[in-house]
Copies of this chain bind each other. A is one copy, B any other.
Amino acid sequence: MKKRITIKDIAKVLNVHHSTVSRALRNDPRVNAKTRDTVLAYAREHEYQTNMNAVQLRGTSNNAIALIVPNINHSFFADIISQLTNLAYNKGYVISVFQSNEKYQQEKEIVNTIIQHNFAGVIVSIAKDTINSDHFALLKKFGIPLVFFDRVCEDIFTPKVKVNNYEITANATEYLIKKGYSNIAHFTGTTSINVFRERQNGYVDILQKYGMEYVQPIVIEEDFSVEIGKIIFSRLWNFSVKPDAIISSSVHVSTGILLEARKYGIKIPEDLGLITFGSLLSSEIIEPQITYIEQPELEIAAIAFDLLEKMIKKEIQIGELIERQVQAEIIFKKSC
């Protein structure tokens, strides 16, 4: 293990000043072509690697973008991460992914790390736990570009990419009503998050519009999982009035519902209709195929990245409130 070579080392060997080496490496026109080539050749041969800490300390460029998501092993986020990574790569940026684990405390610490390491920008979908947005305000205060997607902080002025959750859930609910279902339940997440609040509002508003009495917003405060889906469904099913349809905010929970429903011998779509947000890799194989709501992950990623890049390039001011909405879509199958 040898000590890493620096521009000063190169300068010493080639008998030039290190500033010349610096310029040569960065293709500054102010350096002679011949010396530039000599420097580049030497640098390549000795595997010179820029020390980005020095560069960033100096206050020059930085191409590192941070991405904070609640869960990496959730296909919605995994798809967005994957797409963002590709977009960034093509534009010369590098994405570092951080997982908040749905925890406010972890999210806060991640934000601190991001500030301390001087990232060029941040793309965030907040944790369920996040009740306070001071850490994001801090990010703004330090002049770090910030873009929210999907789960956003309402009280922070910055670009945001949102899904038409209210509308799509209203549409899904109305679809179920028109199919003849009358006891429609809604399984969703904590209403402190815009996503789940909007879905719930869309659901409730339609039921009220149709004068339906059976309104069951089931708020799952725990992390979405197959297990919790089983438990919650089982609990609901033992009520006096059972639902005849469910809209579920999570594929994990929906899977739990399906398994539990099978245990009880409940037939889908006859005894129970089901619409779920997000699709399963194997959704086509399941009988009956489940009607689901597809969110445009690729589009979300593309817009979020575009907005962030514009902020980094100062084409969008920090603190500017821009809201972009993308359209989710109901993919009609056989579960209702």
Contacts and interface: CB of A to CB of B under 8 A. Distances in A.
Interface of A: 1-2, 4, 47, 49-54, 56-57, 64, 71-75, 78-79, 81-82, 85-86, 89, 94-99, 101, 106, 109-110, 112-113, 115-118, 138, 140-143, 226, 251-252, 255, 258-259, 262, 280-287, 318
Contacts of A251: 281-282
Contact of A73 (B54, B81, B89, B113): B81
Contact of A142 (B1, B50, B71, B97): B1
A308 to B, nearest CB: 17
B96 A98 contact: yes
Contacts of A89: 101, 106, 109
Residue of A54, A72, A98, A101 with most partner-chain B CB within 10 A = A72
A141 B255 contact: no
Given A142-B4, A255-B282, A72 B64 contact: no
A84 to B, nearest CB: 9
B64 A73 contact: no
A53 B52 CA distance: 8
9 contacts: A4-B142, A51-B57, A51-B118, A52-B53, A64-B117, A71-B82, A95-B98, A281-B281, A287-B287
Contacts of A50: 116
Contacts of A283: 282
A248 to B, nearest CB: 13
A143 B285 CA distance: 49
Given A73-B81, A85-B99, A281 B280 contact: yes
Contact of A94 (B2, B74, B113): B113
A94 B49 CA distance: 23
A282 B276 CA distance: 13
* Nearest 5 pairs of A and B residues by beta carbon: A96-B96, A73-B78, A97-B97, A85-B99, A53-B57
Given A53-B117, A53-B118, A117-B52, A98 B94 contact: yes
B72 A85 contact: yes
Contacts of A57: 51, 53-54, 57
Given A255-B281, A258-B285, 20 more contacts: A1-B142, A49-B115, A49-B116, A50-B116, A51-B57, A51-B118, A53-B54, A53-B117, A64-B117, A72-B81, A73-B81, A73-B82, A81-B99, A96-B96, A97-B97, A259-B284, A259-B285, A280-B280, A281-B281, A282-B286
A16 B112 CA distance: 26
A280 B258 CA distance: 15
Nearest to A297: B73
Given A1-B143, A52-B116, A285 B255 contact: yes
